[in-house]
Amino acid sequence: MSISTRKASIKELAEIVGATVHGDTDVIISGIATLELAKQSELSFFTNRKYHKFLLTTQASIVILHPDDVDSCPTNAILSDDPYLAYAKIATWLTKDEQNKIQIASSAIIAANVTIGKNTNIEAHVVIGEGTKIGNNVRLSAGCVIGDNVNIANGTIIYPNASIYSNVMIGENTIIHSGAVIGSDGFGIANDKGQWFKVPQLGTVIIGDNVEVGANTTIDRGAIEDTVIENGVKLDNLIQIAHNVRIGENTAIAGCVGIAGSSTIGKHCAIGGGSGILGHLTIADHVHITATSLVTKSINESGVYSSGTPLQENAQWHKNFIRFKQLDKMARRLTALEKKS
């Protein structure tokens, strides 16, 4: 499968990312495809050695790759020290929709005192509550529900059926995908003689600029203080962020991560899919937590951290698990033997 794009020359594309051209500077492309499936007039990229065999035989007119790999490329190339980043920027430029579909659907329900900026697109069945402010060049896709006194800054896109509760603040050029819920109540309950009594959640959610929130991700409002997602944070699908959590700038979190209340995650962190972070913890800047790890205490220094047992054949895993339960007895025997020797 290939993706149709606007037409562009290799020279134009290289200038976007400040890269070098190898080959015919006038060659034109009008689509994007993988190395294996690309045809003439299409662009591809090479970053993973597993696909080297496809590079050798690709029919693409242009391949984005590292200068070290140019000798293996049978076609024109854009040479970049970071080919994947170069591809991301070029593909964004090639596929950007320049048509301004400025419209407010007749089925949208908008409170009387809502402020709407220029070049705004509000699609079918969107609901916008009282006192909400929407900036310029915002897109609210079909079925979104925007509560009272929400502030959505310029250039933000909210995809279908996302729900933004009252008083939430969303920064510029942020993307919120379908099914996301921003500002729902945090899990605050107090025990009253065996029955649970709901604790009011009085804070809100503040999302910075250039943030991306994945499909069906949920971000709870703060109990008293706010839940804060700082600039440049990237959140995958199906993430749960509890009340009063703070996530630092440019941190990326993969799918199915759960972060309990009042934890603070630093800047430039990476958290692997399926990980869990207990409440009231602090994670330093530049921490990488690998997939399915459980964080039970604060991490005060940058670095890579892991927990959990990687996949094994079942019989071997069962033997190892039995031995794991015997570790304490084995340690006691070893200590006794050492005392005798």
Contacts of range 29-36, beta carbons closer than 8 Å, 24 or more positions apart: 29/5, 29/61, 29/62, 30/4, 30/5, 30/6, 31/2, 31/3, 31/4, 31/5, 32/2, 32/3, 32/5, 32/91, 32/94, 32/95, 33/1, 33/2, 33/3, 33/60, 35/60, 35/63
**Cα dihedral 325, 326, 328, 329 sign:** positive
CA max distance for the chain: 87
Among 133, 171, 144, 169, smallest CA distance to 155 is for: 171
Phi, psi of 324 (to 5 degrees): -60, -40
Q: Per the structure block, which two tokens stand in for 74?
A: 């049978």
Query: Looking at 22, 177, 243, 318, which residue is catalytic?
Result: 243
DSSP string computed for 222-281: PSSSPEEE-TT-EE-SS-EE-TT-EE-TT-EE-TT-EE-TT-EE-TT-EE-TT-EE-TT-
Q: State the residue for tokens 């562009």.
A: 8
Helix pair angle (314-325, 327-340), 10° resolution: 50
Among 261, 266, 133, 131, smallest CA distance to 201 is for: 261
Name every residue whose Cβ is closer than 8 Å to that of residue 257 and which is 6 or more positions away in sequence: 236, 239, 240, 271, 272, 273, 274, 275, 276, 277
Q: How far apart are CA 246 and CA 235, in angstroms?
A: 13
Catalytic residue at 318?
no
List the catalytic residues.
243
